[in-house]
Structure 1
Amino acid sequence: MATTNELVAVLSRHIGRGNGVSGKALAAALGIETRQLRKLVTEAIEDGQIAICGHPSTGYFVAASAEELIETIEFHDHRAKHELKKKSRLAKMLGDLYGQIYLPT
């Protein structure tokens, strides 16, 4: 499997939003599946190795400016809030389901 250092090396040729690379192409360049790529990107970000940005419309790239990094942060914030909203709705459904199961008959 590819390493975060290999990921950083490939991404160093993709600086700025206009030079983004699709997840499929990046995974192919590293010889891995896209699922493994996402894990590798997360690991590199969590280790603080590099400011990897990405969006479905631009692909992956290294931030060339604070603005690009801020946009990526906002994108992740929006996605996180969306996931929490889904979690909340599912938790409510679970409560409703338990209520149905334990209703006296």
Structure 2
Amino acid sequence: MRRWALPLVVLSAISGVAGLGLLKRRRYVAAWGAAALAVAAILWTWGAAQYPAMLVGSLTVDQAASQPAVPCARLLGPGLRRSAAYPGPVAAVRDLPAGTHR
């Protein structure tokens, strides 16, 4: 196990025990939060234990990384699409006779 994973395993164990204690005290919402933290910590532990390999033995994080333009396009694309689609419905509602839309 990598050194990054051990604190996450400890966090998961503490969260699990805390969740059980909260269940015993009938504090269900807090127990739900503790359980969610325990599960999230286990998932992060798996990733931390595998780092820097994405697929053990064949693909590293650096090899899997995309070109710098890809994240930029992924962030700007939906915004540009919405800005192009937004004026049509607004104009249609604006051009309706008064009192026909709410």
Both proteins in one fold, TM over 0.5: no
Which structure has greater helix proportion? 2
The TM-score bracket by the shorter chain reads: 0.3 to 0.5
TM-score, length-scaled by structure 2: 0.38
